[in-house]
């Protein structure tokens, strides 16, 4: 199997070599980056603008290798070599915001636990580094803490040192994706996370049976590895690990329960089922650069592995979107430092609601789907540039799509829209605040503006029937509750922290996560500065 490796560099999979190389990489990248500041959460140094990456290079999904005998002729029996194994205490699957929060809290609060952090490539999958650069949150000071507050304040200090503000004209927190990436990498690799081992890998197999708990991964550049573990945290939007382990789930606007292992899978969204099984639309969150004078580099001349300039032929774009773009949300509100913009418009969402379903349930096609959506999005910016917006160019191209929603894993408790509206409180481990409903969908309603507070119960992170498995992104809710602050990154960060505290409490008590005391988890969260009430 082969991959195109990002400029973040190849991260070897284990033993002293990976730590040494990673330490050298981070030391070089952050020595000047953090060189002159008063003490902050990533160390008593300041960032240097020149050390930050200027663009992202996509990682392509690996291509499945041929199965022996598949080419025809008599099948040959080949005895496979034993798969190398690594013993860890926790597998954190996916570097979404909640996965990074979990890894950070495990590094700080339980350095004795060995943590394997698995990503789909040499990248951080979190939207914070993939183009979602305008914070979606309300009352953030009263619902955040720990990891997210630490990251947020560090980014603000970086910009202050540069004589800039990490806020737009409305006071919303904003940042460049490369700045977010630099800070977040420092939290989960190197000397700040000595017990965390990063893997760029593809998920192959998993088991959470008693005495047989492991995750098999195809590690980039080295081959298969088995991670023997005690605890699992699935931080992926798609719930890949949880579904592979046999967890049940709900999907789209459907409250029916499905299970991949048992063969009860949802039908493809279509008119026959009123498209209820479709997750929300996804998009490629391009970061734009607005030039104050002259013209931007021509998008038509863009050289990028996921862009064929010939694909522009036949591109059409509604003229109403072209004429209104100058006063759009992206241009007037989503104003980032250094005159950049977050492209996040209704029309920039991929229009086919079925493709987000395929993204979830056909993981072998994710590389192809990502390329298709990226190309489509780039061509719309090219159309804008060639029809009056000649000062607008592309600053960064994300390595991963912004996937707003996947399956909702069935937990021991399910948080509902009724709970949200009533302000229900039961063993709360994570807070969030945003609107009551905000769903990128083709069906009404898409937005209910009323401010609501999410109070996620602990057992909504615990997977029903799986005592050692926690979910920190695909948490157990109904679809309406998921479309509130539940799907926003500050709230997801709090979910990840809560999952880490559940694991720490379980390790301290010598029990499975499903048997931990709520009081023990709440105390751990309080001690780290999280609010739960």
Question: Which domains are assigned to the chain?
Answer: 88-271+405-533 (3.50.50.60), 287-396 (no CATH)
Quick one: pLDDT at residue 82? 85
**533 residues of the chain, pLDDT tens digit each:** 333 333 333 333 333 444 433 343 333 333 333 333 332 232 322 333 333 333 333 323 333 333 223 333 344 445 567 899 999 999 999 999 999 999 999 999 999 999 999 999 999 999 999 999 999 999 999 999 999 999 999 999 999 999 999 999 899 999 999 999 999 999 999 999 999 999 999 999 999 998 899 999 999 999 999 999 999 999 999 999 999 999 999 999 999 999 999 999 999 999 999 999 999 999 999 999 999 999 999 999 999 999 999 999 999 999 999 999 999 999 999 999 999 999 999 999 999 989 999 999 999 999 999 999 999 999 999 999 999 999 999 999 999 999 999 999 999 999 999 999 999 999 999 999 999 999 999 899 999 999 999 999 999 999 999 999 999 999 999 999 999 999 999 999 999 999 999 999 999 999 999 999 999 999 999 999 999 98
Among candidate residues 14, 232, 10, 17, the one with its CA nearest the CA of residue 121 = 10
Q: What tokens were used for 523?
A: 């105390």
As a whole number of angstroms, the distance between CA 428 and CA 417 comes to 16
- At residue 484, φ and ψ (nearest 5 deg) are -100, -145
- Indicate the DSSP class of residue 10: -
- Would you say 254 and 479 are in contact if contact means Cβ atoms under 8 Å apart? yes
As a whole number of angstroms, the distance between CA 132 and CA 489 comes to 9
As a whole number of angstroms, the distance between CA 64 and CA 61 comes to 9
Identify the three-state secondary structure at position 14. Answer: coil
As a whole number of angstroms, the distance between CA 504 and CA 107 comes to 11
- Would you say 237 and 487 are in contact if contact means Cβ atoms under 8 Å apart? no
Angle between helices 97-109 and 489-509 (to 10 degrees): 40
- Would you say 420 and 484 are in contact if contact means Cβ atoms under 8 Å apart? yes
Quick one: pLDDT at residue 197? 98
Centroid of chain to Cα 405: 11
Among candidate residues 224, 228, 234, the one with its CA nearest the CA of residue 496 = 234
Quick one: pLDDT at residue 78? 54
Residue 429 belongs to what H/E stretch? strand 428-438
- Would you say 380 and 315 are in contact if contact means Cβ atoms under 8 Å apart? yes
- Would you say 89 and 171 are in contact if contact means Cβ atoms under 8 Å apart? no
Quick one: pLDDT at residue 211? 86
The residue to which tokens 């695909």 are assigned: 474
Hey, what's the torsion of the CAs at 427, 431, 437, 439, to 10 degrees? -110
Positive or negative, the CA dihedral 269, 271, 273, 275 is: positive
- Would you say 173 and 135 are in contact if contact means Cβ atoms under 8 Å apart? yes
Among candidate residues 254, 259, 256, the one with its CA nearest the CA of residue 276 = 254
């Amino acid at each position: 199997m082969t991959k195109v490796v990002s400029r973040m560099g190849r991260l070897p999979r284990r033993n002293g070599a990976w730590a040494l190389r990673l330490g050298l990489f981070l030391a070089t990248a952050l020595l000047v980056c953090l060189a002159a500041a008063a003490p902050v959460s990533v160390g008593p140094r300041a960032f240097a603008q020149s050390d930050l990456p200027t663009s992202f290079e996509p990682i392509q999904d690996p291509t499945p290798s041929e199965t022996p005998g598949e080419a025809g002729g008599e099948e040959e029996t080949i005895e496979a070599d034993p798969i190398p194994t690594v013993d860890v205490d926790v597998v954190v699957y996916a570097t979404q915001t909640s996965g990074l929060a979990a890894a950070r809290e495990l590094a700080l609060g339980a350095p004795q636990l060995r943590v394997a952090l698995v990503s789909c490539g040499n990248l951080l999958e979190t939207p914070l580094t993939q183009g979602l650069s305008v914070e979606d949150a309300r009352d953030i000071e009263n619902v955040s803490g720990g990891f997210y507050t630490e990251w947020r304040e560090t980014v603000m200090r970086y910009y202050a040192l540069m004589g800039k503000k990490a806020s737009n004209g409305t006071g919303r927190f904003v940042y460049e994706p490369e700045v977010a990436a630099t800070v977040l990498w420092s939290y989960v690799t190197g000397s700040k996370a000595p017990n965390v081992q990063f893997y760029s890998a593809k998920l192959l197999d998993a088991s959470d049976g008693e005495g047989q708990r492991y995750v098999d991964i195809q590690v980039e550049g080295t081959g298969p590895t088995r991670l023997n573990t005690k605890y699992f945290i699935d931080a992926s939007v798609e719930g890949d690990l949880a579904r592979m382990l046999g967890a049940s789930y709900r999907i789209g606007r459907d409250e029916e329960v499905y299970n991949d292992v048992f063969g009860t899978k949802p039908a493809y969204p279509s008119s026959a089922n009123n498209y209820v099984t479709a997750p929300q639309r996804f998009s490629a969150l391009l970061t734009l650069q607005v030039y104050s004078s002259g013209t931007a580099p021509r998008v038509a001349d863009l050289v990028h592995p996921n862009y064929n300039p010939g694909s522009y032929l036949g591109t059409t774009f509604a003229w109403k979107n072209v004429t209104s773009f100058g006063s759009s949300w992206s241009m007037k509100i989503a104003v980032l430092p250094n005159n950049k913009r977050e492209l996040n418009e209704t029309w920039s969402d991929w229009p086919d609601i079925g493709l987000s379903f395929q993204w979830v349930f056909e993981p072998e096609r994710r590389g192809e789907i990502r390329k298709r959506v990226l190309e489509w999005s780039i061509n719309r910016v090219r159309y804008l540039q060639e029809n009056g917006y000649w000062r607008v160019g592309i600053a960064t191209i994300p390595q991963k799509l912004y996937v707003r929603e996947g399956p909702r894993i069935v937990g021991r408790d399910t948080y509902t829209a009724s709970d949200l509206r009533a302000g229900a409180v039961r063993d709360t481990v994570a807070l969030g605040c945003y609107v009551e409903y905000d769903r990128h969908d083709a069906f009404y309603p898409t937005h209910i503006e009323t401010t609501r507070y999410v109070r996620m119960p602990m057992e909504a992170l615990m997977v029903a029937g799986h005592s050692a498995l926690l979910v920190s992104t695909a948490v157990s809710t109904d679809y309406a509750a998921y479309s509130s602050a539940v799907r926003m990154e500050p709230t997801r960060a709090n979910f990840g922290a809560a999952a880490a505290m559940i694991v720490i409490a379980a390790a301290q008590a010598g029990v499975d996560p499903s048997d931990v005391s709520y009081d023990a988890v709440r105390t751990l969260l309080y001690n780290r500065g999280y609010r739960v009430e």
